[in-house]
Amino acid sequence: MDQALVAREAGADIIVAEGTEAGGHGGARATLPLVPAVADAVAPIPVVAAGGIADGRGLAASLMLGAHGVLMGTRFYASAEALGHERVKERIIAAKGGETMQTRVFDIVRGYAWPEVYPGRALRNRFLERWNGRESELTAALDSEHSAYQRAAKEGDFDTAVVWAGEAVDLIKRIDSAGTLVARICEEAEGILRAGARLVR
């Protein structure tokens, strides 16, 4: 919330309210209560909801929460056009939301200086299971671990290399083209919004 106000004061044209469900780096707040709170706090600046949104239901819900639109990361990472490794896309399709977690171990081993308050949500893999909770030991072992990690990433070994992905992996069943996704998500959201209107008289 504080950061949304800082963005407003800085003159942002659009503010993304990203919940902790998101793939990649983020904070601790959940999308559902964060989006309407940010929308209220920064109105009339348009707010874009992010984190855990991967289909028309998420888009429709976000609009109802006061967002002007949505930003999806994980869903489009598993699209035909995304530049990620094919094995990454396959892992996203196979994964369950409960197999993701926020972690710093991949930043440490890659030498990325993300602030500690913004861990990144990734799929659990062997590397993460091995080092989770042992971040200082990993830092101490960087000489050997960094080069082993780089090798694994180059070889497409995702038991070691990171797959950034959010809790919405549950909703991702296949790789589609980005255009197909946008059309399907919008159509689905439109249908839901029309059906929702029938709930009230």
Ligand X SMILES: Cc1cc2nc3c(=O)[nH]c(=O)nc-3n(C[C@H](O)[C@H](O)[C@H](O)COP(=O)(O)O)c2cc1C
Interface residues with ligand X (CB under 6 A)? 18, 21-25, 50-53, 71-75, 77, 164-166, 168
DSSP string, 28-51: S--HHHHHHHHHHHHTTS-EEEES
Nearer to ligand X, 81 or 137 (CB): 81
On whether the CB atoms of residues 26 and 51 are closer than 8 A, the answer is yes
Q: How far is the CB of 36 from ligand X (least distance, A)?
A: 17
Q: How far apart are CA 40 and CA 195, in angstroms?
A: 26
Alpha carbon of residue 25 to chain centroid? 8
Nearer to ligand X, 141 or 153 (CB): 153
Nearer to ligand X, 23 or 138 (CB): 23
Measuring CA to CA, how many Å separate 97 from each of 8, 46, 137, 170? 32, 29, 28, 5
Which residue of the chain is nearest ligand X when measured via CB? Answer: 73
Nearer to ligand X, 26 or 42 (CB): 26
Question: Quick check: helix, strand or coil at residue 102?
Answer: strand
Q: How far is the CB of 189 from ligand X (least distance, A)?
A: 15
Q: How far is the CB of 50 from ligand X (least distance, A)?
A: 4
Q: How far is the CB of 140 from ligand X (least distance, A)?
A: 27
